[in-house]
Amino acid sequence: MKKTIIFFYILCIAYTVNAQQRKEDAPVLKEKTAFQTSSPWMPEIDIRSDVAIVYGVNGNPSDGRQRMTFEERVKSWRDHGYNTHFMTGIAWGSYQDYFLGKWDGKNHLGEGQVEMDGDTIWHGRNIPYIVPVQSFIEYMKTAVIKKVIDAGISSIYLEEPEFWARAGYSSAFKDEWQKYYGFPWKAQHLSPENTYLSSKLKYHLYYNALKEVSSYGKAYGKSKGMDIKFYVPTHSLVNYSSWQIVSPEACLASLPGIDGYIAQVWTGTSREPTYFNGLSKERVFENAFLEYGSMVSMTAPTGRKVFFLTDPIEDRRRDWSDYKRNYEATFTAQLLYPMVADYEVMPWPERIYTKPYKVANSDSSVLIPKYYSTQMQVMINALNDMPLSDNRVSGVNGIGVLMGNSLMFQRFPTHNGFEDPQFSNFYGQTLPLLKRGVPVQTVHMENLGLDASLKDIKVLVMSYSNMKPMSPDVHKSLAEWVKKGGVLVYCGRDDDPYQTVMEWWNTKENKYKAPSEDLFKRLGINPAATKEKFTVGKGAVYVIRQNPKKFVMEPNAASGYIATIKEAYETDARGGDLTFKNNLYLERGPYDIVSVMDESISNKSYTVKGPVIDLFDPALPVLTQKVINPGSQAFLYNISRIQDKKKPQVLASASRIYDEKANSGSYKFTAKSPAKTINSMRILLPASPKDIKLTNSKGEQISDVKTAWDAASGTCYLSFENSPDGIKVSLSW
């Protein structure tokens, strides 16, 4: 057991420098925005991001339309000016040649993840979620990664290393258990300790798979003179814990072969119901904000690159108005993290633009409405120019909540009647603050050894009601931080059955009944059964003997918790007034990003003074003011913050702009966007245009153009049918 503890500590705490830089003679291509697709290039999905991430050597397992080879699909995107990357699943994929025995003559379907009743968990026909045994790792190396590198791909994404918490009963998993622990498999449903051991093994198996595959790819690429980069597209720790999935998450920062992540956050993850004020329901914006925040917490201290993902639709059947409303919520949430400016603007444009979607509670299917595709393209083209910013979201930014990878270890099954409905012990610490307009941050305990982790945190909230420290060094770092002036708020009864699993705090010389006892000893305090406050060095510690799920699962139960946080911040951390509000606002370059929350301290609306362009309205109106009501968001272009107001420029557009040329009396450019969509753009000009001329790629003039001039803002509005070949626009005044 001690070896296991030390091993996991090394995995999670180790930090390595960034991957080696590009060779001086290699071309530097822009890689700010991207999308993933299993399709070859089509005019209907030519969305003009920087990178087309071509999915799967054998395509997407959910897409039966594949008629081109992988190499042909890559070439089709390169031929249209895209930088091409590669993505595939690491826990599943169209690997029928492996599963059905073509690769090595052995059938590998028995290596799927299996539940207690013996059922395999499937991702598609003949596609199980895999237990990543060594033969599968070798297949990934030689049949997938080598082929991709040979095709000239230097950026590879290994998607969703996922092991379901309810799995762990297959013969393949039992064999891996014996190899890893050195004793026979134990069924996880029989005890909390078995569950904990099972989760740690699942965690290790995908850590090892990513380590081996990325190491192989780096070395093979180097032998061909290529600098190969590996990224892991992964759900947030918040979502995996909520959905009862185990994944390596923050520990990947210790792998030199991993260069970054994609934060897979979208309506499908963020609409998972949460408790607040005694009511369980969807809270998409708040959930998305916490999900993106956990990805920032995981990556920012390490310097790794992270792309933020949003999706204009989702897998579950709804309707287009539902997709639109929740897309706006998740899109706003991602923009409220100004330290991230790289984006996967959408997955699967082929399903968004070309596939009619089933409408919930009906038999009808509807293709994406033109107004929504226009709005969506305005939004994703804004991401091409979205700047990094040193600005902070309005409100107090110095309050954090500690989280760790072991959050995933206690979600399934239930032991001794202890439950955590809808992951409420986490939301009990975060939602009462966020709903009061406090942009609460999350802090990964795996990164506590890095100086940047707690640099801006004045008050840190933590609980061991739903996670456990995987190393005593977590407590060492926390104690040092408190003694230097940090303020720690500990919430929990320490009464869940995982407190007594055989771990470092109760083995060898340690005889603690709960891991918090080790923390309290290092802090020099001895909390009783009630709320208490202690002075520790230059800092302070509050202990609230209540599991935080109570703060959200019961009506009006968070007042004492909030009062404690307010006292800790204002009195002990000397952070100034901890004010509460019902909104979050961020100024980011020319953009205003706003979310106004319901279920908050008031029902007041939030007003942004104009002139502003409403980027959530496909007509791109110029408003003298924008009023945002509770439960909604806004994405605005603030004309008053244009740096050079004399320069003609496209301010917002449902297309990407190329070949701009401006002189004293004219402004010309080319607009490109998918076929069968409608462009909408607003252009800053020094005067009302006297002549407006649009031509297609064949030089033919376009007559069906809507135009309008807004004298107050000095902007011209144009609307016309898009073309991926480009529409040339000429304006003169």
Residue 672 clears pLDDT 60, i.e. is over it: yes
Residue 50 clears pLDDT 80, i.e. is over it: yes
pLDDT band at 65 (very low <50, low <70, confident <90, very high): low
Q: Are 133 and 176 in contact (CB under 8 A)?
A: yes
- Going by C-beta distance under 8 Å and a sequence separation of 6 or more, which residues neighbour residue 590? 637, 638, 639, 641, 642, 651
pLDDT band at 27 (very low <50, low <70, confident <90, very high): very low
Give the per-residue pLDDT at 359.
80
- Where b means 16+ CB within 10 Å and e means fewer, 11-27 reads bbbeeeeebeeeeeeee
Q: In a 3-state reduction of DSSP, which class is residue 84?
A: strand
**Rounded CA gap, 523 and 684, in Å?**
60
Q: Average pLDDT of the chain?
A: 94
Give the per-residue pLDDT at 530.
76
Q: Which residues are registered as beta bridge partners of 114?
A: 120
Count CA atoms within 13 Å of residue 475 on its CB side: 21
The dihedral built from the CA positions of residue 598, 602, 605 and 608, taken in this order, carries a sign that is negative
**Rounded CA gap, 597 and 324, in Å?**
18
One-character DSSP codes across 602-660: ----EEEEEEEEETTSTT--EEEEEEE-TTEEEEEEEGGG-S-TTS-EEEEESSEEEEE
For residue range 337-394, list pLDDT tens digits in order.
999 999 999 999 999 999 998 788 888 899 999 999 999 999 999 999 999 999 999 9
Q: Are 11 and 206 in contact (CB under 8 A)?
A: no
Residue 20 clears pLDDT 70, i.e. is over it: no
For residue range 430-443, list pLDDT tens digits in order.
999 999 999 999 99
Residue 25 clears pLDDT 70, i.e. is over it: no
Q: In a 3-state reduction of DSSP, which class is residue 325?
A: helix
Say which CATH superfamily domain 399-572 falls into.
Class I glutamine amidotransferase (GATase) domain (3.40.50.880)
Residue 64 clears pLDDT 70, i.e. is over it: no
Predicted model pTM: 0.95
One-character DSSP codes across 503-535: SGGGSTT---SSHHHHHHHHHT----SS-EEEE
Give the per-residue pLDDT at 63.
57
One-character DSSP codes across 95-109: -HHHHTTTTTS---G
Q: In a 3-state reduction of DSSP, which class is residue 357?
A: strand
Q: Which fold has domain 649-732?
A: Immunoglobulin-like (2.60.40)
pLDDT band at 449 (very low <50, low <70, confident <90, very high): very high
Determine what percent of the chain is predicted with pLDDT higher than 70. 95
pLDDT (average), residues 462-489: 98
Determine what percent of the chain is predicted with pLDDT higher than 90. 91
Cβ-based burial of 212 (10 A; exposed 0-12, middle 13-18, buried ≥19):
middle
Please check whether the domain covering 2-383 is classified as CATH 3.30.360.10.
no
pLDDT (average), residues 299-327: 94
Domain span(s) for CATH 3.40.50.880 in the chain: 399-572
Domain span(s) for CATH 2.60.40 in the chain: 649-732
Residue 724 clears pLDDT 90, i.e. is over it: yes
Domain span(s) for CATH 3.20.20.80 in the chain: 2-383
**Rounded CA gap, 600 and 432, in Å?**
9
**Rounded CA gap, 159 and 85, in Å?**
13
